[in-house]
Structure 1
Amino acid sequence: METLLGAIIKDKHDALYTVAPEATVKDAVKAMTETNVGCILVMNQGHLEGLFTERDLMKRVVHQGLDPTTTPVRDVMTTEIAVATPKMTVGEAMALCTHKRLRHLPVYEDNTTLLGIVSAGDLTKWAIQDQEHTIDDLTRYIYGERA
């Protein structure tokens, strides 16, 4: 059985790293660097307004020559966000990320409660674990238990 995103979120136990929309790019980058994440949630009064990613930094700030000390995150964040549910499988989430060219996927319960965020790296890790379990099961089926 393929792993559900709910299991990944429970296993991660990561805090949700956030900034306000009026935070500067420099503040967002500092938070991302200190927490070693490639994406930070832009939240306004408990609601997700966007994501600020390393890609946003490169394309919308550095490439455009904007000053990170004065540019608010709201001006350069990604606002078209695909979301997932905890009942979505790793394979379904990977297909969504591939189709929409995403690296980060917020996971919502009932379209109202933000549970966490999964990255392409998280999905790859779990897909590999699922495949390893399948290989082990098939090997045991074919060759029997090893002593």
Structure 2
Amino acid sequence: MTSVREVMTPGPVGLPEDASLIDAARRMMEEDVGDVLMFSEAGVRGIVTDHDIVVRGLAQGADPNTTPIHDVATESVTTVQASESCDHAAETMREKSVRRLPVVEGDEVVGVVSIADLAPDLP
């Protein structure tokens, strides 16, 4: 049984909730990832994907230089434990209709697992 820890992308990229859409897009480009975690003083508050920036932001007329990521983020974040099986992560993604999950060990976010990480050989 393969664990999420074995396939996740470690060291998740995060930004403060008031960072702009352009800040998020640039970080995604620099880090070659499709998401950033949104942090507040209390910890992880949400996740923003490249899809969120385009569909919830740009397509709605948002100015990418001034619109904060909290305007497009998914705030009810579902997580998965690093020790869980990849099958469990895939089932969670199906149930929640998401393509990425922050990976935690206890209360600490240690990575992100995507659907592509779980099925790397699919086209």
Same fold (TM over 0.5): yes
Letter aligned with residue 119 of structure 1: S
1:72 pairs, out of 62, 68, 79, with: 68
1:122 aligns with 2:117: yes
8 A contact 2:12–2:109 mirrored in 1: no
1:30 aligns with 2:29: no
4+ long deviations beyond 4 Å:
none
What percentage of aligned pairs have identical amino acids? 29
1:101 pairs, out of 97, 102, 105, with: 97
Q: Which runs of 5+ in 1 are unaligned?
A: 129-147
1:3 aligns with 2:2: yes
Structure 2: distance between partners of 1:52 and 1:66 = 15
Letter aligned with residue 118 of structure 1: V
Letter aligned with residue 6 of structure 1: R
TM-score normalised according to structure 1 size: 0.75
8 A contact 2:11–2:110 mirrored in 1: no
Shift of 1:19: 0.9
Structure ranking higher in strand proportion: 2
**Higher RCO (C-alpha under 8 Å, 6+ residues apart):** 2
Q: Which has the larger radius of gyration?
A: 1
Q: CA, structure 1 residues 115+92, in 2 after alignment: closer, same or farther (shift >3 Å)?
A: same
Structure 2: distance between partners of 1:73 and 1:63 = 15
Q: Which runs of 5+ in 2 are unaligned?
A: none
1:54 aligns with 2:53: no
Structure 2: distance between partners of 1:92 and 1:61 = 31
Structure 2 SS opposite 1:63: helix
Number of aligned residue pairs: give it.
Answer: 121
Structure 1: distance between partners of 2:29 and 2:82 = 27
CA RMSD of aligned residues (A): 1.6
**Worse-superposed segment, 43-52 or 57-66:** 43-52
1:16 pairs, out of 12, 15, 29, with: 12
